[in-house]
Amino acid sequence: MMIEVSPFVVFHGSCEAAFEFYKAVFGGEYQFIYRYRDVPSDETPEGCEDKILHVSLPLTHNVNLMGMDAPGDAAGAGPVAIGLRLNEKAETFRLFEALAEDGTVTVPLAPTFYADYFGSVIDRFGVAWSFNCNIGREASGA
């Protein structure tokens, strides 16, 4: 199993400007960038169509700076979360459930269009955790 840990920064409308700045500072290209309008559903939060749903900027070989614009008032959003990228379903669910105990699940762990499983939780100490799992793939290629 592989686990990749990355800082995950939550913004309220300024993610794109911030990541353009970080890209200029650190160099490199986005590993991926998704906007809310890219979500294949009718559940895009109103007014968020052009905002950033998820972006990843590699800083080193195995560390990515990730970010998003939280929709509206998004309870428990940011400013910083710890992003975990894994490649095993059982371990993803185990860690998610352990961190959620006496905490708050903000996004239930479920399949998405960009990951086999995605979810987020705020643990009992107020630390936000974001999970991306792509089964059987290298964590950095997830």
- Alpha carbon distance 43, 32 (integer Å): 21
The label of the residue with tokens 């400013």 reads: 79
Amino acid 138: pLDDT: 56
3-state class (DSSP) for residue 33: strand
Q: What is the CATH number of the domain that holds 40?
A: 3.10.180.10
Strands (E) located in the chain:
3-11, 32-35, 52-58, 64-69, 80-86, 104-110, 117-122, 128-133
Q: How many folded domains does the chain comprise?
A: 1
Residues with pLDDT less than 50, the chain: 75, 139-142
Query: Quick one: pLDDT at residue 140?
Result: 44
pLDDT of residue 29: 95
- Residue 6: how many other CB atoms lie within 10 Å: 23
CA distances (Å), origin 136, targets 9, 100, 110, 121, 141: 26, 24, 17, 23, 10
pLDDT of residue 139: 47
DSSP 45: P
Domain extent, residue 108, equals 3-141
pLDDT at residue 74, rounded to an integer: 56
